[in-house]
A and B are shown apart, each in its own frame.
Chain A
Amino acid sequence: MNLTLKVWRQSGPDDEGKLVRYQIEDVSPDMSFLEMLDVLNERLILAGDDPVAFDHDCREGICGMCSMMIDGVAHGPQKNTTTCQLHMRHYNDGDTIVIEPWRARPFPVVKDLVVDRSAFDRIIQAGGFISVPAGSAPDAHATPVPKLDADDAFDAATCIGCGACVAACPNGSASLFTAAKITHLGLLPQGQPERGSRARAMVEQMDEEGFGGCTNTGECTAVCPKGIPLDTIARMNSDYLRASRKSG
């Protein structure tokens, strides 16, 4: 099939950036979306042009590096799917596809489709951990964990940190990302000692980074490749409010 791509090109953080149109021919329906861009890039390199910079690594939907807004939808049209797992059979000959980077103030564009998501790392630094130095752990069976809690914790823990939630949120909020970690650790007995301080510190860091506020639109969970549920945000709010009440 033949396609028209409109790709966001921006040489650096200070550049204005604009959409640039490319024609691409003979796209196989079995190609992944990124392989289609590889083909475009090979052509650009040979022509001496700058290839389109985009983040990607594992290409199997787990590292969370790929990050494209495709026709106004984070990670494109297929539900629960990262950009790298999206295949071209979802498109038809003659389609025009608009590809943009994630848009949020805390995710500044580095180049083209590459953005800086270090804000997420700083949210984790604020408290997304259980303080347990190597070698100090008790036996793994010392504390049984109810299976349902472990399963819910796992569901929240599957977050890949791609940032689609922020990209899709009309408010540019990072609540789902932050809540996923707070929920994961807050549901486990090991996470209890730091539960309150963790929620406070992470929420405050999230606000400090400049993410928007949550208005519970649910756009985040709808585009989340791992389908992190919305109740994680309720848990985050609950933990945050309780911790704030306690320490004033």
Chain B
Amino acid sequence: MNYRLGEPIKDTKAPEGPIEDRWEKRKFSARLVNPANKRKINVIVVGTGLAGGSAAATLGELGYKVKSFCYQDSPRRAHSIAAQGGINAAKNYRGDGDSIYRLFYDTVKGGDFRARESNVYRLAQVSVNIIDQAVAQGVPFAREYGGLLDTRSFGGAQVSRTFYARGQTGQQLLLGAYSALERQIAAGTVEMHTRHEMLELIISDGRARGVVVRDMVSGEVETHLADAVVLATGGYGNVFFLSTNAKGCNTTAIWRAHQKGAVFANPCYTQIHPTCIPVSGDYQSKLTLMSESLRNDGRVWVPVKGGDTRPVAEIPEDERDYYLERIYPAFGNLVPRDIASRAAKNICDEGRGVGPGGLGVYLDFADAIGRLGRDAVEKKYGNLFEMYERITGEDPYTQPMRIYPAVHYTMGGLWVDYDLQSSVPGLFVIGEANFSDHGANRLGASALMQGLADGYFVLPTTIGDYLADAHKFGAPDDTAVAEAEIAVRNRIDKLLSVNGTRTADSFHRELGKLMWDYCGMERTEEGLRKALERIPELRAEFWRDVKVSGVNEELNQALERAGRVADFFDLAELMCLDALHRTESCGGHFRAESQDADGEALRDDEAFAYVAAWESTPDGPVLHKEDLEYEYVKMTQRSYK
């Protein structure tokens, strides 16, 4: 697959001047919509996770007429609900030296200098309001005996800025946004459409004016028109088939938008989480994440000799390789996510992995139990140990856990400007679905922060500036609407008519394996080229040989899956292309060719300090570069030795 280089792309919305004033300035310069007009303005929000749920609720509160869509049976089920760890905020309630500036600095640095400074600074500023908002909504964050909020340090941060609600922070924050959304539904400002999946974006006169959705119960294809469309449809980690995402997570909404002109940025940036429960067999349908906090007390090791299948108790101490402690003596088991993940992969590639298929390493708590006692360990990690035992049937108190990395989050997404507007006017993208704030690597406990910042505070302000012109938009063009609807129907008919011999899931598994092998933790030119050769073949096979049973006019889960898999093929191709073109290593993108003598990721700031924004054209992808400039944080290379 070849690409062409297009014109550079640039964010024109972030104001100039000192970074700490930019958001204030933008809030003031963004035009307001007269309250009487808001009632006449329709906004569509797709997705009801932290970003989409909070955005729909807030737009409803402001008086817009909102239509909200989700594929689940209730907006409360979006996958934000599964986030465990916590949410960062620069409250500095501990007085431990945290500040907005420090959170900004950590995020830019953690993102390996591939995020926009203005956006990140705003995120850090707004983080403070999120906690206030959530607490006022009744989110039951952990508290200390004095009644004040508890915080912890997370993911290697040196300050304690992570607010949490036991291991269910995502759930509690999502239920907060959900209750705000339900309040607006009751008030009549938001019209909720559950079990509806967006299958096409409607563009008329160059503006996003609506969506085509499929009612997943009746199969009816519906068009919904609006003055602006907000996509909050999450990440695309499920391109790997196995990931920690929910089964239903998919790329279709943003991919359709991309095909209709929205530029897709940094698709190759993928975050891989080191502590997941390994695959147990071919039937595996998803991977389960175990909180990273386990690495605080667990020691990672594998047998020194490959193919050592002795039970753990029979492997003497000197035949165990505590490889993280050996390679990274300073940080040991607490090295960042990407480093821990890659080390595990390398060890397993050497044939020293443990468990089924040799894809796993031990995370051993024997020392911690010996040192702290079983009770103390149980108090700290009891719920995680229980979850592990439920899934694997093994008792982590008496034998080490087995862990392996898994795809967890995608930093890439639709390109947006400072206003969170994509390259298509009227199409706004928020939360994990956009590319904006995490650069090449997201810090722990920052996903919740970004989703809620976008939904509660940023989008509701910036969208007003666009909607101030809504009275000039006119009615959407009938032909454009009809064409979008016909495109959806044709795709559905096509999927149902192939009547081949393989299920969509079997194709998805094969695609996922390909992506994991060649566009996963470690990427090479050779591997990526192989993948780029194989993906089109597999896609052609899919369209020739997929079997989708049933009809459109019913609840048809086979059809839903097939549609999503079809889009994953196209996305996978762009991911590989992006990974191939970016010959440097940075954050969640490790190119084997670009590492230092110690095997550490080596950035190439000269050549690659830009956002790779891909445009879809009939003649293939066109690359638009957005150059990144760092006025405030000096670019440095990470080191954890």
A residues in contact with B456, CB < 8 Å: 134-135
Asked whether any CB of chain B lies closer than 8 Å to the CB of A89, the reply is yes
Closest to A36 in B: B283
When the two chains form the complex, which single residue of B147, B247, B289 contacts A144, counting CB atoms closer than 8 Å? B147
B residues in contact with A190, CB < 8 Å: 135-138
- B110-145, CB < 8 A from A: 129, 131-138, 140-145
Asked whether any CB of chain B lies closer than 8 Å to the CB of A32, the reply is yes
Asked whether any CB of chain A lies closer than 8 Å to the CB of B392, the reply is yes
Q: Flag if A35 contacts B283 (CB, 8 Å).
A: yes
Instruction: Bits for A27-66, please: 1 = Cβ < 8 Å to B, else 0.
Output: 0111110111011011011101111010111111111110
Instruction: Bits for B162-197, please: 1 = Cβ < 8 Å to A, else 0.
Output: 000110100110010011101101100000101000
Q: Flag if A130 contacts B554 (CB, 8 Å).
A: no
Instruction: Bits for A73-88, please: 1 = Cβ < 8 Å to B, else 0.
Output: 0000010010001010
Shortest distance in angstroms between A207's beta carbon and chain B's nearest beta carbon? 17
Distance of A134 Cα from B217 Cα, bound (Å): 33
Distance of A173 Cα from B456 Cα, bound (Å): 35
Distance of A218 Cα from B387 Cα, bound (Å): 25
A residues in contact with B73, CB < 8 Å: 55, 65, 114, 116-118
- A134-169, CB < 8 A from B: 134-141, 144-147, 150-151, 153-154, 157-158, 160-161
Of B324-332, B426-434, B499-507, the one contacting chain A is B499-507
Asked whether any CB of chain A lies closer than 8 Å to the CB of B557, the reply is yes
A residues in contact with B58, CB < 8 Å: 133-134
A residues in contact with B549, CB < 8 Å: 44-45, 48-51
When the two chains form the complex, which single residue of A118, A129, A139, A147 contacts B74, counting CB atoms closer than 8 Å? A118
Q: Flag if A78 contacts B390 (CB, 8 Å).
A: yes
A residues in contact with B179, CB < 8 Å: 124, 128-130
Distance of A114 Cα from B502 Cα, bound (Å): 25
Q: Flag if A58 contacts B246 (CB, 8 Å).
A: yes
Q: Flag if B183 contacts A34 (CB, 8 Å).
A: no
Q: A138-B136, A140-B132 are in contact. Are A31 and B283 (CB under 8 A)?
A: yes
Distance of A42 Cα from B503 Cα, bound (Å): 7
When the two chains form the complex, which single residue of B82, B180, B502 contacts A129, counting CB atoms closer than 8 Å? B180
When the two chains form the complex, which single residue of A42, A50, A125 contacts B505, counting CB atoms closer than 8 Å? A42
Q: A46-B547, A60-B82 are in contact. Are A110 and B247 (CB under 8 A)?
A: no
Asked whether any CB of chain B lies closer than 8 Å to the CB of A247, the reply is no
Shortest distance in angstroms between A12's beta carbon and chain B's nearest beta carbon? 7
Distance of A157 Cα from B139 Cα, bound (Å): 8
Asked whether any CB of chain A lies closer than 8 Å to the CB of B76, the reply is yes
Q: Flag if B146 contacts A130 (CB, 8 Å).
A: no
Asked whether any CB of chain A lies closer than 8 Å to the CB of B57, the reply is yes
Distance of A87 Cα from B392 Cα, bound (Å): 9
Q: Flag if A57 contacts B72 (CB, 8 Å).
A: yes
Q: Flag if A147 contacts B168 (CB, 8 Å).
A: no
A residues in contact with B180, CB < 8 Å: 129, 132, 134
Q: A45-B558, A190-B136 are in contact. Are A150 and B79 (CB under 8 A)?
A: no
Q: Flag if A35 contacts B138 (CB, 8 Å).
A: no
Q: Flag if A62 contacts B171 (CB, 8 Å).
A: yes
Instruction: Bits for B57-79, please: 1 = Cβ < 8 Å to A, else 0.
Output: 11001000000000011111111
B residues in contact with A114, CB < 8 Å: 73, 555
Q: Flag if A46 contacts B141 (CB, 8 Å).
A: no
B residues in contact with A60, CB < 8 Å: 82, 244, 286, 288-289
Asked whether any CB of chain A lies closer than 8 Å to the CB of B93, the reply is yes
Q: Flag if A58 contacts B149 (CB, 8 Å).
A: no
Asked whether any CB of chain A lies closer than 8 Å to the CB of B391, the reply is yes
A residues in contact with B607, CB < 8 Å: none
Q: Flag if A62 contacts B503 (CB, 8 Å).
A: no
Asked whether any CB of chain B lies closer than 8 Å to the CB of A230, the reply is no
With most chain B CB atoms within 10 A of its CB, the pick from A124, A134, A138, A150 is: A134
B residues in contact with A128, CB < 8 Å: 179, 182
Q: Flag if B79 contacts A132 (CB, 8 Å).
A: no
Distance of A140 Cα from B180 Cα, bound (Å): 18
B residues in contact with A160, CB < 8 Å: 171
Asked whether any CB of chain B lies closer than 8 Å to the CB of A9, the reply is no
Closest to A26 in B: B283
A residues in contact with B555, CB < 8 Å: 53, 110-111, 114
Q: Flag if B79 contacts A57 (CB, 8 Å).
A: yes
B residues in contact with A30, CB < 8 Å: 280-281, 392-393
| B interface, CB within 8 angstroms of A | 54, 57-58, 61, 72-79, 81-82, 91, 93, 129, 131-138, 140-149, 165-166, 168, 171-172, 175, 178-180, 182-183, 185-186, 192, 194, 217, 244, 246-248, 280-281, 283-286, 288-289, 387, 390-393, 456-457, 460, 501-503, 505-506, 547-550, 554-555, 557-558
Can you give 9 contacting A-B residue pairs, CB < 8 Å?
A28-B281, A58-B77, A121-B74, A126-B186, A134-B133, A140-B149, A144-B147, A151-B140, A157-B165
| Given pairs A111-B555, A140-B131, A190-B137, 14 additional interface contacts (CB within 8 A) | A28-B280, A28-B283, A35-B283, A50-B549, A56-B247, A62-B168, A64-B77, A124-B182, A130-B179, A134-B457, A139-B132, A140-B149, A153-B138, A191-B138
